[in-house]
Amino acid sequence: MHILSYGFMRSAFAAGTLAAIISAITGYFIVLRNQSFAGHALGHIGFAGAAGAGLVGLSPISGQLLLTLLAAAGMGTLGERANKSDVAIGIILAFALGLGVLFLYLYTAYAGQAMSILFGNLLGVSSSLLIMMAVFSAISLIGISIIARPLLFASLEPELAEAKGISLRFISITFLLLVAIAVTEASVAVGILLVFTLLIGPAAAALRLTRTFWAGIGLSVLLGVGIIWAGIFLAYYTNWPISFWVSLLSLLIYLLSYLRKDSET
What are the tens digits of pLDDT across the range 105-114? 787 666 666 6
> ∠28-32-34 over CA atoms, to 5°?
115
| In the chain, where the domains are located | 2-260
pLDDT band at 85 (very low <50, low <70, confident <90, very high): low
Cα gap 99→214, rounded to integer Å: 40
Between residues 121 and 78, the one the model is more confident about: 121
CATH class of domain segment(s) 2-260: mainly alpha
Task: Give the model's pLDDT for residue 48.
Answer: 85
**pLDDT tens track for 155-205:** 899 889 989 889 888 998 999 999 999 998 888 777 887 788 889 999 999
Query: Who's near 156: CB < 8 A, 6+ residues apart?
Result: 32
Distance, in Å, from the CA atom of 259 to the CA atom of 225, rounded to the nearest integer, reads 22
Query: 56-65, 81-90, 198-207, 208-217: which has the minimum mean pLDDT?
Result: 81-90
> What is the structure's pLDDT at 224?
95
Residue type for 156, please? L
